[in-house]
Each structure stands twice: as structure tokens, then as C-alpha cells.
Amino acid sequence: MSSLSESTPASAPGKVILLGEHAVVYGQPAIAFPVSTLRTRVTIRDAAQLRVTSAIWDRTYQIADAAMHADPVYSVLSLTAEALGVPIPIRHYNIESDIPAASGLGSGAALSAALGRAVAAAAGLNLDPAVLNSVVFEVERLYHGTPSGIDNTVVVYEKPVYFVRGHPIQLLHVQAEYTFVVADTGIRAPTRESVADVRALMVTQPAATTRAVSAIGDLVARTRDALAVGDVTAVGRCMNLNHTLLQQLTVSSPELDRLVQVATDAGALGAKLSGGGRGGNMIALVNPETTSTIEMALRAAGAVHTFVTVLRAGMETAT
């Protein structure tokens, strides 16, 4: 068997949703792309017992303990090993991550993907991306209720996608380069809760909620077309409209609304929450020359962290 050295960790990127969150759960499209500057990495060492550590976690697992099956980290180890047809490799798996938890940047999916890749490396086997994608989705399903499948897809394949649940993956074709500022409210808001609240709205206010969800789907389709021809203005306009619809679905928050407004006032072409909402992150489309100004304005308005990421032509074919 082979193992990863400390210098070659298994890893997976974060992700950001450009448009379509929440509506994607109901069969509408969404657009998302990887953020390779934010990654989760897993290194492995030889060990006498199965151990997983991180900055906030240190746990030794007894494989015979049935309680372990309720643990998300153990679930990744177990499901990956099962998919590979091997026992869980007994190693010390150490996790390091740049991705804030519960912030809409795919931290959970990235952890599962990186850990799954580490298990395969420890077993000395190749792990087909489609198999890993299924494993990560299953873990998301177990611990997030009704995931759309977009997080695992973007994180595993590391490509920008136009995603429709239950349909084959469509790589997103982009003309020109789009610069985004992402800002973190510092509020941790589990996606599971906001997804459940939208589901409740589908019961209590079905007509209005269905209209909002369908309108989001229309905006996503328009954005895909705009990205393909380099229409930056149209992309920004669709982002603004998408945020308004997410407010109607009750998944925004005063903090997110404030950052969206501040970014727009500072010159952003469009801005909206990104991810589950209620906290976490917002994303703003900016002209490159205004990046620093908008980042400073967002931090002054309460953002605890900002970063810049780019969506450009060719990302769908990059390896």
C-alpha cells in the first residue's frame, strides 16, 4: 500500500454559488464555480489506530463502535472505503482548511471530497470522480437534509457548472473575465435550516413561493447566456434581481442586505447573498479597478473577511 506524504495532501476547493441557490432544490438551474484559493487539505500518516484531527478536532475511531456511523467524518471514511471495496485504511488523517464553516462556500463538501481522496490514496487506489461525487452527495444528504447536489459537483470536478438537479452535469462556458468580491458576515448559518424554511413556505405560501423559485430559474438561464457572450452588465442585473427574490424566500438577513447595499453603493455591478443565506457570504460582481475600494467598504460595513475570485474563459477545460 502507498500513503500520501505530508508534502502531498489530498485536497478539494471551496465553491461559490453565483445564482440559483434554494431554487435549485426544486429543479431550477443554478450556476456555481470553484474557488481554488480556498481549499481543504488532508494529509495522512501511518498510525496504529484510525485517527482524525484538525484545528478543532481530535478523535480516535473504533470501527466496531456502531455510534461511529452517526459521525459525518466516519461516514466519509466508511462510504469511500466501501465504494473502493476495501476496509477503511488505518491511518492518522489530519485536516487543514482555509474554508470557513457554515458560510456558503462548500466547506462540508470540500472536507468530504478531500477526505475521500485521502482514503483512496492511503489504500493505493484511484477513485473515479463520479464515485467520489456520489459519496460526497450521500454525506451531504445525511447531514444537510435535502442537498441540491451542486456543492459536491463543483467541489469534486473543480469546474464551473450550470447545474440542474437530476440532470447530467453541464460545464459553464464563459466569455471574458469576471471579477468577484466575496465578503463573509461572520455569522454561521447552517444551510439545512434555511432549506427547511423554504420548504415550509412551499406549504404555507405555495403560489408566491413557486413564482419566486421559477423567477430565480429564469434569471439563472439569462445569466448563463450573458456569461457566454461577455455581457457583464446583464450578469450584474440578474444578481441584483436574484437577491430580491431570495429576500422574498426569507433566506437573507439584515447583515447580508447591508453588505449587498454597501457593495452596490461602492460601485459593484451586481451583488447578492451566496449559499444558504441567513449569514455566511455575499458575492459582488466588480470592475477590477474597483476591487480594493469595494473590499474596504465591505470591511468597514462589518464583513469579517473578504477575498477576490475570478471566473474566466477556459476554466471549464482546465485540469
Instruction: Report the catalytic residues.
Output: 151
Number of Cβ within a 10 Å radius of residue 189: 21
DSSP 28: -
Q: Are 14 and 107 in contact (CB under 8 A)?
A: yes
3-state class (DSSP) for residue 198: helix
Residue type present at position 208: A
Measured between alpha carbons, how far is residue 247 from residues 25, 113, 212, 230 in Å?
A: 17, 31, 10, 27
- Residue 314 phi, psi (nearest 5): 95, -15
> Which residue reads 481530535 in cell numbers?
58
267 CA to centre of own chain = 26
Name the helix (H) or strand (E) containing 245.
Answer: helix 232-248
Beta bridge partners, 94, equal 43, 53
- DSSP secondary structure of 268-306: -SEEEEESS-SSSEEEEEE-GGGHHHHHHHHHHTT-SEE
Q: At what angle do helices 129-144 and 72-84 cross, to 10 degrees?
A: 150
Beta bridge partners, 91, equal 46
Asked whether the CA dihedral 112, 115, 117, 120 is positive or negative, the reply is negative
Q: How far apart are CA 267 and CA 10, in angstroms?
A: 39
Name the pairing type of β-strands 30-46 and 50-54: unpaired
217 CA to centre of own chain = 19
